[in-house]
Copies of this chain bind each other. A is one copy, B any other.
Amino acid sequence: MSAVDLKGRDLIVTQEWTLDELQAVLDLAVRMKKDRYGFTRVLKDRTFFMFFYNPSVRTRQSFECAATELGGHAQFLEPKSMRLKTAKTAGETIEDAARVMSRYACGLGIRILEDKVGAYGEGDALVREYAKWAAIPVVSMAHDKYHPCQGLADVMGWIEWLGPEGGFDPGGLKGKKLLMTWGHGALARSWSSVQEAILIGSRFGMDVTLAHPEGYDLDPDVIRWTRENCEANGAAFEITNDVRAGYEGAHVVYSRHWMSPDAYKDGEFLKQAEIERALKLTDWICDSGKMALTDNAIFTHPMPIDRGHEVTDEVASGERSCIYDVAENRLHVQKAVMALTMGAEG
């Protein structure tokens, strides 16, 4: 890993980091998981800013814990308490906000998606605007397009469950099949976690099958990159509208709801319409019948789970469910990312 220097780097999507860089994060995360309180000098007395345009359970808890365990402190900031300039109100520009924050903190995390954007891509643009002006690393804590720390936690968990026993080998995902399948549900969820998952899964050599009802296409750029990633690895990439076909031979099943491309219209987030539309597609649930078609696949989900819609209790709480391990890994990969990009001693 001597060739990898991530100091000062932004993390907006894993696709923009090399495989060596991603493996360096995983290697460090594995060490940090084994030695939980052995890295407490890394951000000693330093501050990480967390900007939550949208609230979150897992992300706030895991990032704030991560900073604490590295010896530092994560400030929980909600832009509603900031006088930022918007289309409608006077306030501070992102340039000014980011340049001042760079004087105070060692890094900045941003979460913006769902109802806090008016069109798909606005969140990504905002994160990149902060990154443009900030002299400190900017890390996505989930935005409308990507969720890089979730993606890293996903593959770390899958390798732990599927890799060779007694070690941690990122190569362990080569040739394994990931089924990313849409689930119906009473929420209208962003594309960030699912897009990140197929991108990073395909980077690590997995075959990928994407299954969803008609009308639930993801971002064409992400589809293209995933295809390219698979081709580069000699792996398969398929898209199907069949609720069952993708399960065959799968090693990892990821069932999650996501909104349709119609969710935003004229700057509005049509949450209720999305929920009503999605609730009708009751076939789209991951259950033990479908799991029986797989190659003894593990079940994965970024949580929180909408149980009874996305997946049955039987599968989510079953013995092949890796959900709690993946959730825990959020902590470890985020510590590793912070250490490598913001750490006092690299």
Q: Give chain B residues whose Cβ lies under 8 Å from the Cβ of A162.
A: none
- What 0/1 readout, one digit per residue, does chain A (77-91) give for beta carbons within 8 Å of chain B? 100111110000111
Q: Is A65 an interface residue (CB 8 A)?
A: yes
Contact A65 B309 (CB under 8 A): no
- What 0/1 readout, one digit per residue, does chain A (183-222) give for beta carbons within 8 Å of chain B? 0011100000000000000000000000000000000000
Contact B45 A37 (CB under 8 A): yes
- What 0/1 readout, one digit per residue, does chain A (55-79) give for beta carbons within 8 Å of chain B? 1111011101100111111011100
- Asked if A65 meets B307 with Cβ closer than 8 Å, knowing A40-B45, A60-B77, A100-B327, the reply is no
Contact B45 A61 (CB under 8 A): no
State A322–B207 Cα separation when bound (angstroms).
Answer: 54
Partner of A65, one of B69, B91, B104, B306: B104
Q: Is A44 an interface residue (CB 8 A)?
A: yes
Q: Give chain B residues whose Cβ lies under 8 Å from the Cβ of A289.
A: none
Q: Is A293 an interface residue (CB 8 A)?
A: no
State A90–B275 Cα separation when bound (angstroms).
Answer: 11
The 3 closest A-B pairs by CB, nearest first: A92-B304, A55-B81, A90-B186
- Where chain A touches its partner, the secondary structure class is mixed
Q: Please state the number of chain copies in the assembly.
A: 3
Q: Is A15 an interface residue (CB 8 A)?
A: no
Q: Give chain B residues whose Cβ lies under 8 Å from the Cβ of A95.
A: 317
State A73–B84 Cα separation when bound (angstroms).
Answer: 26
- What 0/1 readout, one digit per residue, does chain A (124-163) give for beta carbons within 8 Å of chain B? 0000000000000000000000000000000000000000
Contact A83 B40 (CB under 8 A): no
State A101–B97 Cα separation when bound (angstroms).
Answer: 32
Q: Give chain B residues whose Cβ lies under 8 Å from the Cβ of A309.
A: 90
Q: Is A46 an interface residue (CB 8 A)?
A: yes
Contact B75 A73 (CB under 8 A): no
Contact A328 B55 (CB under 8 A): no
State A105–B46 Cα separation when bound (angstroms).
Answer: 20
State A61–B78 Cα separation when bound (angstroms).
Answer: 12
Closest B residue by C-beta to A95: B317
Q: Is A312 an interface residue (CB 8 A)?
A: no
Contact A57 B92 (CB under 8 A): yes
